Structure formats: C-alpha cells, structure tokens
C-alpha cells in the first residue's frame, strides 16, 4: 500500500533574497498525481547544511537563486511517490536515496555525455534554482537521486552528498598518483577532514594545514602524514617544502574562499603540480602568472561531481574508509546554524534531523 502523503509540511523558507528564514508548518506538499514524468517525491530523514546554503540565502553569487526559496542539498530520505509515465526503472518507491546539489540535467547535451552533468546548461540546482532539502518532503528527479548503500547510515551519508563528493571529485581531478604528496589547507574543517580521508584512501600522502591542537589530533588520526599549524608557522611555503622532501607538493586542494590560498599554492607546489580550485573568493585568482608558466603549474576548476563520483564517494564511506564528523540539530535550529557558519564557529558538518 502506498504511503499516505500529507497536504502540508514543515519547511524552512527564505521569502526573499537576504531575508530571515521562516520555519513554516503549512507549506504545501506536491501530491503524487501532480508529479511530472521523471519526478519523484522523497520523504526526508535528514539533511546536511552547507556553506553554499548561506550563500544562497544572501544571494552572494553572480547566478541569482530562486525566490522564495527552500534551501538545502545534502538530503537523505525515502522515495514515496514517482511521477506517472516515468521510464526510469532503477528507482522505485521505498528506496533510500540522496538528493545532491545537482538536482537534474538533460543527460543529452555534450557536457552530460562527457560526464559533466553539473555543467549542463539546463541543470537544476537543489536549494538554489529549485526547492531543496530543508523540508519534510522534497520533489526531486529519478535520474539524479543517488541510491544510499545499505551499510551506510542516513546521517553518515548526508554530508557525503555535497562535501564528500566535492573533495572526492577534486582529488580525482588533481592529476595525482599513489604515493604523491597532496596539500590540504583547512584540513580540520568540514570539507578538509573529508579530503584528508579520501586522499588517504586513494593512496596519497597528506600535508594537513590548519590550526589548533584539537584539529592536529583529528587530521593525524584521519590519516594525514604531516601537520603544519598556520598560526605557528613563520613560513608556510618553507615548511611545506621541508615536509615534502624539499620538492613541494604534487597537488593542492584549495577549499578556502581566499586568494592567498591560491597564491601560496603556486609557491609550494613542485613543477607540473596541480592547483584544484574549489573555494570561491569574490575577487581574482591572485596567482603569479610568471611562476605558473615557469613551473608548468596546472590550474583546474572542480565543481562538485557527477553521478558516478557520488556513487564512488558513498561506496568509499560505506566501506568504512571515510567518516563524517558531524553534529545533529533540528530544522528549527537552522537560523542559529546559519549564524554559526557566518561567524566561522561551525566545526565539522551540521546535519538536521527531519523526522521530528
């Protein structure tokens, strides 16, 4: 028997760009009969909170978000309805699936055919150009929801769907091989602590950069081989060179939204090294072009990941090689979570329990 679908639900709505969040109890639920072919209705168990959600709320980026908006793009839940005449048979009612930043794409353009669905000109973005996961029921798309491995808990999977996929995809595009040195600034943070684990699982040697004894213990426990405290270091570039045998790193995953992180990477990478751009500062790249050319440095943009990246990232976590450090909250706490993100006070990841 099909599950009963309520007419209204609890949802966190941003009524206008820059406006305060309103947690409403009477937001409408799209009914099964109204789902278009290819759409599915997912009852949320939990959802992660990402810094991108704060950018969406504030309208920080050149691409404007929809308004009003329900944010969120790290959701895990159960498929409770599928649109009539949907041809995809891989997803069925009762499946536990993940909803990611990339909600949907055409799957037929050049970018989609090449495995860059996130760059599809018709891409729909969860919690940005379509409503996201900060609600009890979410309309998503059967071609892009990701099955969650049975051995992986929903709360453990949530942050993998964005933070995990993002750093995993970045490492895959870093042109590194087993035994290479990879530099991870912000290694003790939400993205960084996952990057350390994925890099370790992929056979890379990690130089972790962050500050504080607690983060030092965390990243070394998670597999980092070398630690540099940026507040104690008198010369970060010199310290990285020393940590890597005098040659420098083979790659750097720059997740910080700071031009200085990119400028430093040019200095501490060895010739032919790769800078993978993930963090989004508001100004120019800031890299010294002479040294980029002279050292044959590669600069690569890495924008989340594709459907296969998501499956691989989840499988690695399900195998026990990656574990998200997170704190549980409720949807009613979302405003304070946003405030913590804005003030830089959030350690690890935040996950909201959507079942209560």
| pLDDT for residue 24 | 95
* Residue 149 confidence (pLDDT) above 90: yes
Structure tokens at 29: 């639920």
Complete domains list, the chain, with CATH: 8-161+305-353 (3.90.180.10), 165-301 (3.40.50.720)
| pLDDT for residue 274 | 98
Per the prediction, the chain carries an average pLDDT of 93
* Residue 257 confidence (pLDDT) above 80: no
| pLDDT tens, position by position, 223-240 | 999 999 999 999 999 999
Q: Which residue would you say has higher pLDDT here, 61 or 209?
A: 209
| Residue 2 pLDDT class (50, 70, 90 cuts) | low
The share of the chain scoring above pLDDT 70, in percent, equals 99
Structure tokens at 30: 């799209």
| pLDDT for residue 60 | 87
* Residue 123 confidence (pLDDT) above 80: yes
Sort strands 69-70 and 102-104 into parallel, antiparallel or unpaired. Answer: unpaired
* Residue 22 confidence (pLDDT) above 90: yes
| pLDDT for residue 117 | 96
Mean pLDDT of 333-341: 90
| Residue 107 pLDDT class (50, 70, 90 cuts) | very high
* Residue 1 confidence (pLDDT) above 70: no
Radius of gyration of the chain (CA): 20
| pLDDT for residue 61 | 86
Taking the C-alpha atoms of residue 40 and residue 263, their distance in angstroms, rounded to an integer, is 44
Residue 284 — φ and ψ, nearest 5°?
Answer: -70, 170
Exposure string (b/e) for 261-272, b if CB count within 10 Å is 16 or more? bbebbbbbbbee
| Residue 189 pLDDT class (50, 70, 90 cuts) | confident
| Residue 258 pLDDT class (50, 70, 90 cuts) | confident
| Residue 213 pLDDT class (50, 70, 90 cuts) | very high
| pLDDT for residue 281 | 74
* CA distances from residue 211 to 47, 132, 241, 264 in whole angstroms, order as listed: 28, 33, 18, 17
């Amino acid at each position: 028997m099909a599950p009963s679908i309520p007419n209204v639900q609890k949802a966190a709505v941003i009524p206008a760009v820059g406006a305060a969040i309103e947690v409403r109890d009477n937001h409408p639920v799209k009914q099964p009969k109204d789902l278009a072919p290819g759409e599915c209705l997912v009852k949320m168990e939990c959802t992660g909170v990402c810094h991108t959600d704060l950018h969406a709320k504030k309208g920080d980026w050149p691409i404007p978000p929809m308004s009003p908006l329900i944010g969120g793009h790290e959701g895990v839940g159960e498929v409770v309805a599928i649109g009539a005449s949907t041809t995809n048979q891989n997803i069925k009612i009762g499946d536990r699936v993940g909803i990611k930043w990339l909600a949907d794409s055409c799957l037929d353009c050049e970018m989609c055919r090449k495995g860059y669905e996130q760059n599809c000109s018709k891409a729909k973005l969860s919690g940005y150009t379509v409503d996201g996961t900060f609600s009890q029921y979410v309309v998503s798309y059967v071609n892009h929801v990701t099955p969650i491995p049975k051995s992986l808990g929903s709360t453990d999977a949530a942050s993998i769907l964005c933070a995990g996929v993002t750093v995993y995809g970045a490492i895959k595009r870093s042109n590194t091989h087993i035994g290479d040195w990879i530099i991870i600034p912000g290694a003790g943070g939400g993205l960084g602590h996952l990057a350390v684990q994925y890099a370790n699982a992929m056979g890379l040697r990690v130089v972790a950069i962050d500050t504080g004894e607690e983060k030092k213990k965390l990243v070394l426990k998670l597999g980092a081989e070398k630690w540099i405290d940026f507040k104690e270091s008198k010369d970060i570039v010199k310290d990285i060179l020393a940590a890597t045998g005098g040659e420098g790193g083979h790659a750097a995953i720059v997740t910080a939204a700071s031009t200085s992180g990119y400028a430093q990477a040019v200095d501490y990478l060895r010739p032919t090294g790769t800078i993978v751009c993930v963090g989004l500062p508001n100004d120019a790249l800031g890299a010294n072009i002479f040294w980029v050319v002279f050292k044959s440095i590669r600069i690569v943009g890495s924008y989340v990941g594709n459907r296969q990246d998501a499956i691989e990232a989840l499988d690695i976590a399900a195998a026990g090689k990656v574990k998200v450090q997170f704190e549980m909250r409720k949807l009613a706490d979302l405003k304070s979570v946003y405030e913590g993100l804005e003030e830089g006070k959030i350690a690890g990841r935040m996950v909201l329990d959507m079942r209560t």
